[in-house]
Chains A and B, each alone.
Chain A
């Protein structure tokens, strides 16, 4: 509750600050947005905002940097931003991904506003226009209200935004569509013209709004999808050149929705589930999780810190493997669970040799559980003992460093490439590579070591038997 008020105050402050600075500001006025359409999808706890901007160069010089503005609260919850340029007419549209970077505008008026710059592939000449598609993904942005609900209550959440798109540019025409998961909307702030049809609320069209104009709104609606969040995921990928890749994933799962309050009654839970499980009512809880694993996965296990969890199913076919798991208990709001998933994969599916005599691992960067927000994702690639020059290649910025790990009779230790990413959403799923050099002779090191150790033991035995150590003859 308090947080909500604070957020609102923040927003209001920002708003005033914006208004105050609008007059004296000198933003990059080169562009004018002739048409902006925004579609906000609130059906799960991962919020996708699709922004379609028609940008026109109203300046005199060619320009290639389009600036997007976001409020600080938005930036805090922003998981990813992605932009692409749309080419072509109606039918044959092709999109081209563009580079987006966070920037600081030196002459930016409102201090709190954060900026992202889109670098166009070709500079836009004066008078020309182009269409940009921007995708924002926000997490932890829906605020449960009431913050605590009883077992059989449904979950209501607040969504805060502005009806007008925050932008450093003049927007000639703009529309915002907000899609709610169901028709149950408690309340929403109107800003004419506003209308609501089914699960969609339409704000706009609004004409000719100056830069930095905003208008706070909120939508209070029912969202009964469980807010499954992995607070921390540590994925360890251990490469063995003997033909196996062992993946171990440690999960810390939480239901981040409205907190469960009071009694948990098994009677109610089971009777409702069995009698009208197919009906509209569903408890807001996490029961099943689905993990999509690579094909040809073997020796899968699923356990907690106190032993196996026996409720899981694995379905494999030639294209993919699906592991359906169930936590030990249904997770109601605020409840947590930890578990480990481990599996083995055939080496040849993921390890390749590059042209410069190096090897590289090609693996999916991401969380195999479907539809998960991962607050902190750590991927540890354990290279075989004796490998050198590791270098990761990841399509988006991550923190990385090296560690050493000792396992199964290691002497010098294995190099571990640690990649860390905060606020990870499924849209990030992509492949990454780790390049390294490795000499095959190291594969024999441990077996030779064992053989020599046993040889020494036998020699010692033989020597002991044949040497007479007695003092007296």
Chain B
């Protein structure tokens, strides 16, 4: 355990009985950590207990499928895997387009267990990867916060993180997604950065770049690290906190980290080419310049130094301007300014909705609402400001990093719901600091009041041990004066004030303590209130874990008066496809169901959740929003045999295809302009009742969803839209119903084979279909079929 070590370093005071106490504290914190890990793991098992051990949602199914492939075929096959089961007829190079971290992690765990002859299935390993890594993440949080503010804050932060709902939502058992592993990697990278910053050890710097490599392997969010750390470095430089420790923490990370990142196929040369990484290189240059300046300053006399500065600045400015001009020209020449769409929508929150409907259509890319903050981080939202204030008392390199981290992540979470996940650890860390400081103050003052001012020495002891954070930063500072001695004096004159605050004498500290000592009653009450707050948080987290975030979304349940009702329609449909269609049949559906179809039904899909090809998705969107004949032509040209639609109207399942339909129209219309959104809206309103536009009532999606729906209740009452459908009786001419699940949630249609080319007959059928729609539009759509 590292805890006693730091405490002894932090308490150079002479109480011999303290070593025993510290040892005891070390063991205690070890067990607390162990319990936190157990809690982090077990709170995420609600989904397994309430439902079953199964992979959740959409993306996890893809990851699961990749892991299965890895487990079956080995790592080399995995890198070379060309998947022909998806994006038909294009296919997808899986090995070069996935972040392999999660897959490799789970694959390694599986391989390890199997070589120990513990026969767990790949699925089981995948299901439990996320809970295991959330335990790791809470331990990493402990380490990080301990580096910032000491053991107490560390333990509090770890406990908070273990059950923060935002993180639970992405890491319940079965939620086998990149984020599950990446959050651990993120926190651990930050920890190693802070550790390097505090110790100046090259060993930790190397570990840091390896952790960064793991993060790059795991998640696209690694760009957050590679931007945040340079920002912090810049902040340190600007505020005059440059030190050799900072240099050691940063320079190896950029060099090693970039080299390692380039090893990951999906990143490759992006690690040096895209704008997301420019900040790190810029700061890399700056830090070298600054280091060089400090060095020069050390060897030259002040007078000579001034001369040199004026010389270098005048020449350097000119060069810099030239370089920057070239850079800007280079960047500006590319249409997206060298940024990927998702990153751009982070910088400009309105970007996606304006230009990339496919990113905007994903619900997790929407900006969050205020209730979602309360839902996802709960009371932490109130503790964060207190934590930020605590970080400023006193401000160290490490705590400034935390402040920067929370500030940026608050911004990012405000842009995208999904990035709430990045905010959660920051919020936990700051809240942990706040809570722990508050507890320190309150317990300290209670103790002070109880023992009275008479026994001053005891109070001192309590102070020193409780405020480990402060003393620890002191210790760190006092350990390193030799290294920074050269630049210290000059800086000292500038930052006298800050230095003064940083190195408080014991006397000053005692004064401060006396000031902080609150009256007994108020501190007891505040303590109780804090405990109450914590209890509220725990209750909320358990509720969120049990009720809100543990549903696997492929199986739905509803409670009615006659007990639990299970809607297992998705798997019914996928199982049907798996067993009763030909192995090479192509299934078209909206991209949401692509991953599930390939993983569960093992059938080739046209588009899937890896939305890399907008045109292809737009083609499917166009087909869905076209009339039957045109849609049949598009699908037929794509060699599609079955079309799958999700329909919730019978049982009231709101996230069905009719509700997503406008996005299909938008995305389709973005590429094929003959699909116009206003055609589907009546006076700007999206409706499917008798007031709906004829284009809407004749499009494929409407027909496939409501085919023979009226025969269920005689009226065709849609329970999601709470209205009767507009067009009730119609026939399908080019599709036939192949399968509909028990609750009608998934409907699968088969494309009828093309008719023999008898001239008269085709004419006839054409005129029949065209009679339903307006004829000029028909001819227009036919001409613009993108695949002919």
A interface, CB within 8 angstroms of B: 262-267, 270-271, 304, 306-311, 328-329, 334-338, 406-411
Contacts and interface: CB of A to CB of B under 8 A. Distances in A.
Given A307-B555, A407-B117, A265 B740 contact: yes
Interface string B723-760: 00000000000001111111010000000000000000
Nearest to B740: A266
A409 B116 contact: yes
Given A329-B576, A407-B119, A408-B119, A267 B555 contact: no
A328 B568 contact: yes
A409 to B, nearest CB: 5
A410 B117 contact: yes
Contact of B118 (A264, A329, A408): A408
Q: Is the interface of B mostly helix, strand, loop or mixed?
A: mixed
B52 to A, nearest CB: 5
B571 A307 contact: yes
Contacts of B52: 307-308
Given A309-B568, A328-B575, A406 B119 contact: yes
Interface in B658-676: none
Contact of B738 (A263, A406, A410): A263
A309 B712 CA distance: 25
B716 to A, nearest CB: 12
Nearest to B54: A307
A271, A308, A334: residue with the most chain B Cβ atoms closer than 10 Å: A308
B574 A306 contact: yes
A406 B117 contact: yes
B555 A328 contact: no
B737 A264 contact: yes
B771 interface: no
Contacts of B502: none
B568 A310 contact: yes
Given A335-B580, A407-B119, A264 B575 contact: no
A328 B571 contact: yes
B554, B568, B580: residue with the most chain A Cβ atoms closer than 10 Å: B580
11 contacts: A264-B740, A265-B737, A266-B740, A266-B744, A267-B712, A307-B554, A329-B576, A329-B741, A338-B579, A407-B118, A410-B117
A316 B372 CA distance: 47
Contacts of A307: 52, 54, 554-555, 571
Contact of B571 (A266, A306, A335, A411): A306
Given A264-B739, A310-B555, A304 B575 contact: yes
Given A306-B574, A308-B52, A408-B117, A335 B568 contact: no
Nearest to B732: A263
A469 to B, nearest CB: 14
A421 B669 CA distance: 60
B736 A262 contact: yes
8 closest cross-chain pairs (CB), A and B = A266-B740, A307-B54, A336-B579, A406-B117, A310-B566, A328-B572, A308-B52, A328-B575
B782 interface: no
Nearest to B744: A266
B600 interface: yes
Contact of B576 (A262, A270, A328, A409): A328
Interface residues of B, number: 30
A409 B118 contact: yes
A271 B119 CA distance: 46
Contacts of A408: 117-119
A263 B740 CA distance: 10
A271 B738 CA distance: 17
Contact of B54 (A308, A335, A411): A308
Contacts of B579: 335-338
B751 to A, nearest CB: 13
Given A266-B740, A306-B575, 13 more contacts: A263-B737, A264-B740, A266-B744, A267-B708, A267-B712, A307-B554, A307-B555, A328-B576, A329-B576, A334-B580, A335-B576, A337-B579, A407-B117
Contacts of A265: 708, 737, 740
A267 B580 contact: no
A415 B681 CA distance: 69
B580 A336 contact: yes
Contacts of B54: 306-308
B575, B576, B580: residue with the most chain A Cβ atoms closer than 10 Å: B575
B750 to A, nearest CB: 9
Contacts of B736: 262-263
Contacts of A328: 568, 571-572, 575-576
B582 interface: no
B479 interface: no
Given A266-B740, A410-B117, A271 B574 contact: no
Nearest to A306: B600
Interface in B563-597: 566, 568, 571-572, 574-576, 578-580
Contacts of B740: 264-266
Contacts of A410: 117
A281 to B, nearest CB: 18
B738 A264 contact: yes
Interface in B49-87: 52, 54
Nearest to B747: A266
Contacts of A266: 737, 740-742, 744
A278 to B, nearest CB: 20
B119 A267 contact: no
Contacts of A407: 117-119
A308 B571 CA distance: 9
B626 to A, nearest CB: 23
B348 interface: no
B511 interface: no
A262 B749 CA distance: 11
A318 to B, nearest CB: 27
A451 B738 CA distance: 57
Nearest to A332: B580
A306 B117 CA distance: 24
Nearest to B572: A328
Contacts of A338: 579
A311 B571 CA distance: 13
B711 interface: yes
